[in-house]
Chains A and B, each alone.
Chain A
């Protein structure tokens, strides 16, 4: 990647040296060195719990008790409150936007700094809009100052947030997983904006766990693992597979068990599945004992395809399960025929807050557990849960605990248990390891392998390419709602091949 637009110099804007931060005796950061040059996009990547967010929170002045040295713009700095960080010129765009959807763009931008009107307590609307327009012009954003923020697309709301951050004299802007909830076109628009900021000499820290994005936006990348820096690389010339290795280390080989599944007869057959605006002419098969991976960038239509098969969204086309047409009226009808799905967003679509682990696991089989008049003896629910907790190694192994008190990984194991106790023929797993620590990931990989070895069909969707490459027997590459390629993964280098297939431009 060339730096034709950014006037990258070798004098760093930010230098963090030997940053150490403990949480209640647990070391989160262990002597981290990190630097950002002016006009540079420096990506910060690592597994969940590697310390990315902690490092940025130190920078944003969220903690007072850290050790180490921070030099910003040539001067020693030690921000201990967000206000101090802001005064230095450090802005942070968090993943969950903090814009107020009911207010206009102008009101959002000048929130707390509204120009006063003639009467006390009133505000001067005209100068509010003028001032906001000034902020937008300075940022170089073409946004309607008087539009309500809630009516804008997510990407444009993101721009409002960025403009808000740029209101002061910001010299370093941190993006914390900005693309997590953006569609592919919005991502491109966001990247344009970041390139614009970069050209103005603003230093950018870009936190992400999507390796696929990095070559499009970042100049350098620093990999964190277990609170330490593994290394810093120039993005140009660094392969995705190398970054995966840096993030996971030795564990990469240990995490994936030997394949011992042998594909049998066709269980799931999808023919010409289509939904306007989402995907078109999707056809593929999943065999018994086979793991089929759906690869593709976020927004390519992977999740939409999965939801349509499961009956959660309407779509045209034909789906057959074990030889019989699958009614796709609702998840309920798909489930009755032996299909299960772990949804992409565990919090929104998976766990049922307030319910116990036992209820969360048993919810899918209560029709089987219940007797006359729907009577469901607590012991039966408990026994069912204990069986799954044992098999999935859910910790703590307490069926009575409220589900939300478990860690993300253990919640996900409970979700797997929910479907497994129904003994499904085919299981769709949409991003099954998102937001899960490395140790639990390895356990989930082993479980997926076991499920396939038992003769179930698995449709695996994941943004983590090394996961797909190491687990799947076959890979289908989805681009813009179409399956464009089928691949059979072989060795670890395939990560780069699959990556290329996912990001390839359409032939004009």
Chain B
């Protein structure tokens, strides 16, 4: 799947669907089946409140970061530090808000958003510089910065204290980032996080599919050596994907903070695993060069639906991680088996 082949009338030869398409199809089918089963078995699943206010809103935080992660992974990289990056960003948001507590709310919030975005991009760019310019393996780089950034958050919170959004700003922040927009009438409100996610997703799709940079991201993931010899600044492309991923963490952090009104150094642990799982389950391969945002969206939705169904089907908390883990393994294993057969 590429931007260039949209209405391609394949002449003569039958074109076989790519492996990514097969996997995405499998996941989509699983998604539909799961939704159908839950809709039939529980009354609560198919309600606006559950689907939109609950499921999709929760999915949108993860989704915003997963958009950035998709850039990183299509370019052949990997980012384990997104949980820690998001933590630093949320601490940053609250610190700026605290500092500007006596300013007009819109100014304080705008300043906090800009500062958080800058911090998120900078942390991402640090990862990018290490991977692309120094050449340290992405896994090692982001495993290290995962610790470093978490430590940074501890220092900023003076040893792990909970920081709170100042009372004067709480209400406005909540309204801006946690408000509900009656898009489909008052009975069917859409939450702001969903709208932000849709915005981030649309921009990401545009950049990855319809810009020069997006093509370069696929090229670098497909064959870095050849891309470099074709005149692409491969290091800059790789570093930029990490910067974008950091920016995604910043956006998610602002929204999270708007909901919880606090920032803690211990938050968002394990977030990186959910984000990476969404990208991989969707069908973007480790190693990059293929996949994309719509694949990530499908993967994200499947994992979110499962997350939503676990309590509804009475799966006790202690069993949930087993279910989560097995589902990721099963989806990727099915894909691997299909690939093997395709090769024969």
Q: Judging by beta carbons under 8 Å apart, are A356 and B222 in contact? A: no
What separation, in Å, do the CA atoms of A355 and B218 have in the docked complex? Answer: 7
Q: Judging by beta carbons under 8 Å apart, are A363 and B8 in contact? A: no
**How near does chain A come to B241, taking the closest CB pair, in angstroms?**
14
Q: Is B231 an interface residue (CB 8 A)?
A: yes
Q: Judging by beta carbons under 8 Å apart, are A376 and B211 in contact? A: yes
Q: Judging by beta carbons under 8 Å apart, are A399 and B4 in contact? A: yes
Q: Judging by beta carbons under 8 Å apart, are A385 and B211 in contact? A: no
- Other contacts beyond A331-B228, A366-B212: 19, CB < 8 A: A352-B222, A352-B226, A353-B223, A356-B2, A359-B4, A359-B215, A359-B219, A367-B212, A370-B211, A374-B212, A375-B210, A375-B211, A376-B215, A378-B6, A381-B215, A399-B8, A400-B2, A401-B10, A402-B18
* Chain A, Cβ-Cβ closest to B206: A375
**How near does chain A come to B3, taking the closest CB pair, in angstroms?**
5
Contacts of A352 in B (CB 8 A): 218-219, 222-223, 226-227, 230, 289
What separation, in Å, do the CA atoms of A352 and B74 have in the docked complex? Answer: 13
Q: Judging by beta carbons under 8 Å apart, are B231 and A355 in contact? A: no
Q: Judging by beta carbons under 8 Å apart, are B12 and A353 in contact? A: no
- Give me the 3 closest cross-chain CB pairs, A-B, nearest first: A400-B5, A400-B8, A358-B4
**How near does chain A come to B286, taking the closest CB pair, in angstroms?**
13
* Chain B, Cβ-Cβ closest to A356: B2
What separation, in Å, do the CA atoms of A402 and B10 have in the docked complex? Answer: 12
What separation, in Å, do the CA atoms of A312 and B225 have in the docked complex? Answer: 10
Q: Judging by beta carbons under 8 Å apart, are A398 and B218 in contact? A: no
- The stretch that binds B, out of A58-66, A166-174, A341-349, is A341-349
Contacts of A369 in B (CB 8 A): 212
What separation, in Å, do the CA atoms of A369 and B216 have in the docked complex? Answer: 13
Q: Judging by beta carbons under 8 Å apart, are B230 and A354 in contact? A: no
What separation, in Å, do the CA atoms of A399 and B225 have in the docked complex? Answer: 22
Q: Is A377 an interface residue (CB 8 A)?
A: yes
**How near does chain A come to B126, taking the closest CB pair, in angstroms?**
23
Cβ < 8 Å to A, chain B residues 228-260 = 228-233
Q: Judging by beta carbons under 8 Å apart, are B211 and A351 in contact? A: no
Q: Is B213 an interface residue (CB 8 A)?
A: yes
Quick one: which of B215, B222, B226, B232 contacts A349, CB cutoff 8 A?
Answer: B226
Q: Is B314 an interface residue (CB 8 A)?
A: no
Quick one: which of A358, A363, A382 contacts B227, CB cutoff 8 A?
Answer: A363
Q: Judging by beta carbons under 8 Å apart, are B231 and A350 in contact? A: no
Q: Judging by beta carbons under 8 Å apart, are B225 and A348 in contact? A: yes
Q: Judging by beta carbons under 8 Å apart, are B229 and A349 in contact? A: yes
Q: Is A164 an interface residue (CB 8 A)?
A: no
Q: Judging by beta carbons under 8 Å apart, are B222 and A398 in contact? A: no
Q: Judging by beta carbons under 8 Å apart, are B212 and A351 in contact? A: no
Q: Judging by beta carbons under 8 Å apart, are A378 and B211 in contact? A: no
Q: Judging by beta carbons under 8 Å apart, are B212 and A370 in contact? A: yes
Q: Is A335 an interface residue (CB 8 A)?
A: yes
Q: Judging by beta carbons under 8 Å apart, are A363 and B4 in contact? A: no
How many A-B pairs fall under 8 Å by CB? 125
Q: Is A332 an interface residue (CB 8 A)?
A: yes
What separation, in Å, do the CA atoms of A398 and B4 have in the docked complex? Answer: 11
Q: Is B128 an interface residue (CB 8 A)?
A: no
A486-507 vs B: 1/0 string, CB under 8 Å? 0000000000000000000000
Contacts of A418 in B (CB 8 A): 230
Q: Is A24 an interface residue (CB 8 A)?
A: no
Q: Judging by beta carbons under 8 Å apart, are B290 and A366 in contact? A: no
Contacts of B229 in A (CB 8 A): 310, 312, 331, 341, 343, 349-350
**How near does chain B come to A274, taking the closest CB pair, in angstroms?**
22
Quick one: which of B5, B12, B214 contacts A396, CB cutoff 8 A?
Answer: B12
Interface centre among B6, B229, B290 (most CB of A within 10 A): B229
What separation, in Å, do the CA atoms of A261 and B230 have in the docked complex? Answer: 28
**How near does chain B come to A481, taking the closest CB pair, in angstroms?**
22
**How near does chain A come to B263, taking the closest CB pair, in angstroms?**
33
A404-426 vs B: 1/0 string, CB under 8 Å? 00000000000000100000000
What separation, in Å, do the CA atoms of A356 and B227 have in the docked complex? Answer: 14
What separation, in Å, do the CA atoms of A398 and B10 have in the docked complex? Answer: 7
Contacts of B290 in A (CB 8 A): 354
* Chain B, Cβ-Cβ closest to A378: B3
Q: Is B15 an interface residue (CB 8 A)?
A: yes
What separation, in Å, do the CA atoms of A343 and B214 have in the docked complex? Answer: 24
Contacts of A399 in B (CB 8 A): 4-5, 8
Some 6 contacts from A to B, beta carbons below 8 A apart, are A352-B289, A358-B4, A363-B219, A373-B211, A376-B3, A378-B3
Quick one: which of B210, B214, B215 contacts A363, CB cutoff 8 A?
Answer: B215
What separation, in Å, do the CA atoms of A378 and B4 have in the docked complex? Answer: 5
**How near does chain A come to B291, taking the closest CB pair, in angstroms?**
9
**How near does chain A come to B210, taking the closest CB pair, in angstroms?**
6
Cβ < 8 Å to A, chain B residues 12-28 = 12-13, 15, 18
Given contacts A350-B226, A376-B211, contact A332 B232 (CB under 8 A): yes
Contacts of B8 in A (CB 8 A): 398-401
What separation, in Å, do the CA atoms of A367 and B212 have in the docked complex? Answer: 7
What separation, in Å, do the CA atoms of A334 and B304 have in the docked complex? Answer: 49
Contacts of A382 in B (CB 8 A): 4
Contacts of A355 in B (CB 8 A): 2, 215, 218-219, 222, 289
* Chain B, Cβ-Cβ closest to A380: B4
Q: Is A330 an interface residue (CB 8 A)?
A: yes
Q: Is B120 an interface residue (CB 8 A)?
A: no
Contacts of A331 in B (CB 8 A): 228-231
Contacts of B11 in A (CB 8 A): 396-398
Q: Judging by beta carbons under 8 Å apart, are B215 and A366 in contact? A: yes
**How near does chain B come to A482, taking the closest CB pair, in angstroms?**
26
Q: Is A364 an interface residue (CB 8 A)?
A: yes
What separation, in Å, do the CA atoms of A374 and B214 have in the docked complex? Answer: 9
A322-336 vs B: 1/0 string, CB under 8 Å? 000000001110011
Q: Judging by beta carbons under 8 Å apart, are B4 and A377 in contact? A: no
B173-217 vs A: 1/0 string, CB under 8 Å? 000000000000000000000000000000000010011111110
* Chain B, Cβ-Cβ closest to A418: B230
What separation, in Å, do the CA atoms of A335 and B4 have in the docked complex? Answer: 24
Q: Judging by beta carbons under 8 Å apart, are A353 and B289 in contact? A: yes
What separation, in Å, do the CA atoms of A370 and B210 have in the docked complex? Answer: 9
Q: Judging by beta carbons under 8 Å apart, are B232 and A363 in contact? A: yes
Q: Is B221 an interface residue (CB 8 A)?
A: yes
**How near does chain A come to B94, taking the closest CB pair, in angstroms?**
33
**How near does chain A come to B290, taking the closest CB pair, in angstroms?**
5
Contacts of B13 in A (CB 8 A): 396, 398
A169-210 vs B: 1/0 string, CB under 8 Å? 000000000000000000000000000000000000000000
Q: Judging by beta carbons under 8 Å apart, are A356 and B4 in contact? A: yes
What separation, in Å, do the CA atoms of A398 and B11 have in the docked complex? Answer: 8
Contacts of B3 in A (CB 8 A): 359, 376, 378, 381
Contacts of A381 in B (CB 8 A): 3-4, 215
What separation, in Å, do the CA atoms of A115 and B312 have in the docked complex? Answer: 58
Contacts of A401 in B (CB 8 A): 5, 8, 10, 15
Q: Judging by beta carbons under 8 Å apart, are B219 and A364 in contact? A: no
Q: Judging by beta carbons under 8 Å apart, are A353 and B212 in contact? A: no
**How near does chain B come to A387, taking the closest CB pair, in angstroms?**
13
What separation, in Å, do the CA atoms of A418 and B230 have in the docked complex? Answer: 8
Cβ < 8 Å to A, chain B residues 285-316 = 289-290
Contacts of B10 in A (CB 8 A): 398, 400-401
Q: Judging by beta carbons under 8 Å apart, are A332 and B233 in contact? A: yes
Quick one: which of A348, A367, A373 contacts B226, CB cutoff 8 A?
Answer: A348
**How near does chain B come to A19, taking the closest CB pair, in angstroms?**
26
What separation, in Å, do the CA atoms of A140 and B77 have in the docked complex? Answer: 46
* Chain A, Cβ-Cβ closest to B10: A398
What separation, in Å, do the CA atoms of A358 and B219 have in the docked complex? Answer: 12
A381-403 vs B: 1/0 string, CB under 8 Å? 11001000000000011111110
